[in-house]
Amino acid sequence: MSKEFIESYIAECRRGGATEEEIRRNLNVAYSFLSKGLFGFYKATKKKDIRVSLSEFADVVDEIAEEMKE
């Protein structure tokens, strides 16, 4: 499922005209964000696994990003 999700993201970026460099940069940003978030979550809770709804996760990320603009 994860691989298909990422492949869908890449395909959507290409359809939108993104370059391979832009796609790679965005994937690196996503990796950094997720790995640091997972490490922080583990340090705080000592849980090694987390399950989240991607839709809810995206909504919260958007909400927090908007709040940071203010």
In the predicted structure, residue 25 carries a pLDDT above the cut 90: yes
Which domain range does residue 64 map to? 2-69
pTM reported for the whole predicted model: 0.74
DSSP the chain: -HHHHHHHHHHHHHHTT--HHHHHHHHHHHHHHHHHHHHHHHHHH--S-----HHHHHHHHHHHHHHHH-
Count the domains in the chain.
1
The percentage of the chain sitting over the pLDDT mark of 90, rounded to a whole number, equals: 77
